[in-house]
Structure 1
Amino acid sequence: MSAKLWLAAALCVSLPLSEAGRQMPKLAEKKLCADSDCSHPILIARALQDYYPGDCRFTPIRQGQRIYVYAMLQDTGSLFWAGSVQDSYYGQQEARIGHFPSSVVEETHALMPATNVVETTEWDFYCN
């Protein structure tokens, strides 16, 4: 193994997780979810316009796409929601949940009531 490759590998192992990936500032301290794990979608929304995110905490959205919303961030006046985008072909749902402004979507189907207040963690805003 070359010295440069060994040094790069050693740095990746020894760096704290927040430096090895991209630890981003929290958008909120709490989120509103359907369950304590935020694993069930609250609602289905439709994108009213394209949204091109400014950083990796957010997910890009194209007008007309369906979004499964899993959480509504609190402390920000519910300006941001967290969800996964479903493409126009049913079944092409992205595995990644990202944030987006609630103003770029409209609710189309309520699924479950968002009655659980859950503390956010650094993992809610971690970027790979």
Structure 2
Amino acid sequence: MLFLAAGKAGKQMPKLSNKKLCADSECSHPILMARALQDYYPGDCRFIPIRQGQLVYVYAMLKDRGNLFWAGSVQNTYYGDQEARIGHFPSSVVEETHALMPATTEVKTTNWDFYCN
């Protein structure tokens, strides 16, 4: 799920979940849009920073430990020369604004979902 380039300094991070709910088997379509209720500053590269008021496209909902974490991208955010990346964030820091597609496809997470570069 995280689209990060594998580099020499990259490492596998602990899994947050063994499965996720998505709109499709590739988790390539956003399932909803949400607005950030507060700022969120991540502890490691599995997560994305979010500022209060930003729109977030949600692509997956992690399922093993309740619905604590979602995966998505922040609209109009850039990291260097690269477009916004997909990362995780606590579902409690956003509120749903628009449902886009039903999250009915259960997908197993892989090592790449939690890889840090």
Shorter-chain TM-score category? 0.7 to 0.9
Of residues 87, 90, 93, the one that matches 1:98 is 87
Structure 2 length normalisation: TM-score? 0.86
- Note if 1:119 corresponds to 2:108: yes
Report what 2:52 is aligned to: 63
1:43/1:118 CA distance change after superposition, 3 Å: same
Q: Which residue in the other structure is 1:54 paired with?
A: 43
The answer to whether the 8 A contact 2:20-2:61 is kept is yes
- Richer in strand (by share): 2
User: With CA pairs under 8 Å and 6+ residues apart, which has the higher RCO, 1 or 2?
Assistant: 2
| Residues 74-85 of structure 1: pairs in structure 2 closer than 5 A | 74-85=63-74
Indicate if the aligned counterparts of 1:84 and 1:97 stay in contact, CA closer than 8 A: yes
Q: Once superposed, which parts of structure 1, at least 4 consecutive aligned residues long, lie more than 6 Å away?
A: none
Kept after mapping to 2: 8 A contact 1:84/1:94: no
Q: Which runs of 5+ in 2 are unaligned?
A: 1-5
Question: Could you tell me how far 1:127 is from its partner in structure 2?
Answer: 1.0
> Which residue in 1 is equivalent to 2:30?
41
CA distance in structure 1 between the aligned counterparts of 2:8 and 2:38, rounded to whole angstroms: 34
CA shift, 1:87, in A, is 3.2
Structure 2 SS opposite 1:123 = helix
The structure where helix makes up a greater share of residues is 1
Residues of 2 paired with 1:105 and 1:28: CA distance? 19
Describe the shift of the 1:76–1:18 C-alpha distance in structure 2 as closer, same or farther (beyond 3 A). farther
Residue 13 of structure 2 aligns to which amino acid in structure 1?
M
Provide the residue aligned with 2:17 in structure 1. 28
Q: What CA distance in whole angstroms lies between the structure 2 residues aligned with 1:47 and 1:94?
A: 19
Q: Where do 5+ consecutive residues of structure 1 fail to align? A: 1-16
Alignment RMSD (CA, Å)? 2.0
